[in-house]
Amino acid sequence: MGNSLMYGQLILVMVMWGFNVIAIKVIVGQFSAVTITSFRIFLAAVVVYLILWARKQIRLPKKQELSYIILVSVTGVVGHHFFLSVGLTQTSASNSGLLLGTVPLFTSILASKMLKDKLSLMRIIGIIFGLSGVSFVILVGNINGLTMNIGDIYIFLAVLSQALSFIYIKKATETMGARLVTATTLLIGSFLLFCIGFVLEPEGISSLQDGTLVGWSVFLASAIFATALGQFLYNHAIQNVGPGKASIFMNLQPFFALLGSFLFLGEQISVAHFFGFILIVTGVILGSGIMDRYIYKKTLTGINLRKRYDD
């Protein structure tokens, strides 16, 4: 499959993930947030397992892989989706979409601490831009002005949880396929979320009968397309174009989240949102190492051209 098709596939994934913020906002508005999230994640796990079963790619994790599988389940599934679903009950989809766009940036920060990745001056500048964008969205992007919205804090914790999980995913996928890691962690995480929902939301199961046709349709679309198929296609793209190029497309996710919140939820998109969007995207491009890789390749190309000229 050519790179142009892969790039188109990545854009499609970003559309699904951006609009999924709106979908989750709708879902948690009709059902108990944590309980319905556990069902959504479980359905996504079943879909991914069915795909892997058709490809004969299912196996049990080895003993040395279990620790990373559990860590990814706790951080990337339970932590991320718990804070995301609860946060969306208390903040706007537009704010959430912008904050979720900083995942590559915070992954870079955590990698520098946990994997000993060196931070260049360019990446440090990017981190400053990104953190400024996050602060701007949380403080200025709220309708009530300079106020701290607890929902935004939950979304920020969802970002940190997912960024941390990417560090553990890097370790887990050294010996285990990314798609199998995805399916296994989704399954484990869904059971853990269900247990949490059972404790925190005693009326969680009974709330399922309150769902409308629209609510259940959005639930199915979110679970099957955004959560299951979206992750599957993104992992497939990483294998073809590499994580560096694939991460560039993550910048499109907050744009589609903003667009979706305006089109489907009628949320007001302010100048503050656009300013925060620019700061965050700039921060991600610089802070995640995308610009460093671009400069390195340009420098390497220039050196090779000079060598050919000298020869």
Extents of the domains making up the chain? 3-310
Mean pLDDT, the chain, rounded, equals 85
User: Which residue has 């907050």 as its token pair?
Assistant: 254
pLDDT > 70? residue 306: no
Helices (H), the chain: 3-30, 33-54, 63-72, 80-87, 93-100, 103-114, 121-139, 150-172, 178-200, 213-221, 230-241, 243-248, 252-265, 271-287, 290-310
pLDDT > 50? residue 100: yes
- Could you read off the pLDDT of 219-262 as tens digits, one per residue? 999 999 999 998 888 877 876 776 666 777 777 888 898 889 98
pLDDT > 60? residue 89: yes
Tell whether the torsion through CA atoms of 65, 66, 67 and 71 is positive or negative.
Answer: positive
pLDDT > 90? residue 188: yes
Check: CB of residue 6 under 8 Å from CB of residue 240. Answer: yes
Residue 44 phi/psi, 5° resolution? -60, -40
Instruction: Give the largest Cα separation in the chain, rounded.
Output: 77
pLDDT > 90? residue 119: no
List Cα–Cα distances, 58 to 48, 70, 125, in angstroms. 10, 18, 43
pLDDT > 50? residue 182: yes
Check: CB of residue 232 under 8 Å from CB of residue 48. Answer: yes
Kindly report the pTM of this predicted structure: 0.85
**What pLDDT score does 51 carry?**
92
pLDDT > 70? residue 185: yes
Instruction: Dig out the tokens for 211 from the structure.
Output: 């769902």
